[in-house]
Amino acid sequence: MKTVVKSFAKLNLSLRVYRPRSDGYHPIYSVFQEISLHDELLIEPISVPVCQVRVPGSELDGKLNILNRCFDVFRPHLSEHAGVSINIVKRIPMGAGLGGGSSNAGALISWWVATRRLTLSSEMLVGLAATVGADVPFFLTGGTAIVQGIGEQVQSTDIPVPEWYVLVNPNKVSDTRTVYEWFDTRFPNAPDVAATEPNAVPVVFGENSFETVVWELIPELSVLGGWSMATFGKQARLSGSGATVFFEFSDYQAAQQFMGAVGAQFPTMWTSLVYPVGREKN
């Protein structure tokens, strides 16, 4: 039986990046927000113990996918004959700082749990999910959450968030590894998370440690940000390591008007009007 599962994107409403640990990973303190933009996974169980993934119309089609890695990680814990065939309708841009691949993996894991093909404790589930991708544990719960560690520490929160977001992407891919390398070069004295009391870190919406770096790597975003501030008084806020920026609105009509103006001024850029969601919207 085939099942259609939605995998929602996320925004980093704030992102503070710390000095890398001894293992090379950078601890973070971030507020993640699940949003209405989503891919769709058409999942069909198959008797062969493999994960077959198709992404029709995408450059990802025919290539190994994060879902293949997810299957390999969870295979020892899956029920017998738990193979899957998955077709992805891709709507979340790749390399956009919106967690598209991690969201797909989270949706697959949640489907395994819901269909009783996977029965693990919450601790084991999160631990394995983190080995698939740093953002994957968040997508097992979604909604609004404070995320720490390297992504494996997820705490749901009721922090108020804006009602609408306009997303803008210059149709550029932001390579996460490159952004981290530039960050380490630009900020060799970044704070050490071990010297910071996590619970004392203030939530500053719009703060993103990567902004300076990404503005250098993708100057179109700096141009967009300057225009939006001068024309609308709206600050461009970077999500994750980019290349997507978002603008916050409390009024739907104002958001629509702004998105139309962006389209007229920057016709080659991708735009989307979205709203925050929680797992109850699945």
Q: Among all residues, which ones are annotated catalytic?
A: 10, 135
Q: Which residues pair with 5 in a beta bridge?
A: 41
Which residues, 6+ apart, have CB-to-CB distance to 166 below 8 Å? Answer: 246, 247, 249, 255, 258, 259, 262, 271, 272, 273
Helix (H/G/I), strand (E/B), else coil: 48: coil
Cβ-in-10-Å burial (0-12, 13-18, 19+) of 242 comes to buried
- What is the Cα–Cα distance from 74 to 125, expressed in whole angstroms? 9
DSSP code of residue 65? -
CB 45 within 8 A of CB 1: yes
DSSP code of residue 118? B
- What is the Cα–Cα distance from 266 to 218, expressed in whole angstroms? 15
Tell me the two tokens of residue 280: 């109850």
CB under 8 Å, gap of 24 or more: what pairs does 183-192 form? 183/17, 183/26, 183/209, 183/210, 183/213, 184/20, 186/212, 186/213, 189/19, 190/17, 190/18, 190/19, 191/18, 191/19, 192/18, 192/19
Tell me the two tokens of residue 76: 């020892």
- What is the Cα–Cα distance from 260 to 196, expressed in whole angstroms? 42
